Structure 1
Amino acid sequence: MKIVDLTHIISERMPVYPGTEEPKLEVVNTYDKNGFKETLLTMFSHTGTHMDAPAHIFDKKTSLDLFPVEQFVGKALVIDCSDLKEGGKITIKYIENVKEKADEAEFILFRTGWEELWGTEAYFGEYPHITEEVADYLIQSKKKGIGLDTISVDCISDENLILHKKLFAETEIVVMENLTNLKKVGSGLFTLCALPLKYENADGAPIRAIAILEDR
């Protein structure tokens, strides 16, 4: 068995969505003064590698704390879209190329290679994004979730969040953004664990996402 960490580390210098404040990690208790160390974490709920709930967009939809924990674990597939250039679209052909495995998977993760730009301004540029046809496939096949190695399922210029709205209006799905190390997973099915912080009315939360690869 092999475990791959799909999660970016949270730090005060990490990339955040444009207009969002960076996280603060303030040491408030120290070994010298208090005999132990304790850190006050201050950050937005959609910081770093994180998960969006339907309640992120719609106030009557499900928040992360109300999902059964089974929602966050399941069979997953990474689909390689790293041939796409800036502004490219992840079309249904990428799914059709691996249709049998895609149909079997509960989570579809798209590897664009954009994670290599993490920490640069280019990360917030015209990254590849899915089409509405791909969103329709995810909805119709009742997937538990979608994940990408980019900052959003929508393109950076779409202030209306069309794809977020489409996915969350029509199904109970979760969206994972800012994944990393997808290239280390390979092209086979694997077990994904993506566990969000459990707080009340969670519209989104940082996750610790891992891939569990059986011996192949």
Structure 2
Amino acid sequence: MTIIDLSSTIYSNMEVYPGDPQVKVKIFHSHQTHSWELREISMGTHTGTHVDAFSHMHSGGQTIDKISLDKFCGKAWVVNLQDIFPKQCGLVFTEEAGIDLLEKIIVAQPPFVAGFITTDLERELLRQEIITYTDLVNLDLLPVDTSFLFYGFPLKIKDGDGSPVRAVAILE
């Protein structure tokens, strides 16, 4: 079994989407002062590798704490824009996918879509209640033409519009 980390590292002053809160990570307690270490983190819910709730772009959409956990994991497949997408399998795009692929994606009925997707496509996928993941890394390490297991569980944020995740691919 091989585990591929698909998550970016979170650190102070990392790049964020323009207008989003800046990331701050600071030592709150140290071994020297309290005999343990504890960090304080301040950041937006769409920082680094993250998942979007349906409420992120649609008022009244389901929030991250209400979405069933089985939507955040499952069999996945790297797809090229020209491919026929496998049905009911998470789709991972390693090149930018645009709104022109919406119908093709909906027909495939994926539980989630990850990778490089445009904002317009993201908005429509969330409207269709298809989970979206963005800012994944190491996509070049994923196998082509074979499925793998994907896990990207969110923090259980009350009424959350999204959440950072530790996303991984597991290859057998």
Q: Distance in 2 between matches of 1:71 and 1:168?
A: 13
User: Pairwise CA RMSD of aligned residues?
Assistant: 1.6
Question: What runs of 5+ residues in structure 2 fail to find an aligned partner?
Answer: none
**Which of 209, 212, 216 is equivalent to 2:167?**
209
The amino acid of 1:106's aligned partner reads C
Q: Distance in 2 between matches of 1:200 and 1:11?
A: 24
Is contact 2:47-2:164 (8 Å) kept?
A: yes
Match for residue 42 of structure 1? 42
Match for residue 162 of structure 1? 120
Q: Distance in 2 between matches of 1:3 and 1:165?
A: 30
Q: Distance in 2 between matches of 1:105 and 1:173?
A: 11
Q: Distance in 2 between matches of 1:54 and 1:195?
A: 15
Match for residue 181 of structure 1? 138
TM-score scaled by length of structure 1: 0.74
SS at match of 2:65: helix
Aligned residues: 171
Q: Distance in 1 between matches of 2:87 and 2:20?
A: 37
Instruction: Tell me by how many angstroms 1:5 deviates.
Output: 0.5
Q: Distance in 2 between matches of 1:165 and 1:181?
A: 24
Question: What runs of 5+ residues in structure 1 fail to find an aligned partner?
Answer: 81-90, 113-128, 155-160
Instruction: Tell me by how many angstroms 1:79 deviates.
Output: 2.5
Is contact 1:77-1:105 (8 Å) kept?
A: no
Between structures 1 and 2, the one with greater helix share: 1
The amino acid of 2:57's aligned partner reads I
Runs of 4+ in 1 over 6 A off after TM superposition: none
Aligned-residue sequence identity (percent) comes to 28
Instruction: Tell me by how many angstroms 1:164 deviates.
Output: 2.9
Is contact 2:88-2:109 (8 Å) kept?
A: no
Q: Distance in 2 between matches of 1:48 and 1:168?
A: 19
Is contact 1:63-1:202 (8 Å) kept?
A: yes
Does 2:110 match 1:143?
yes
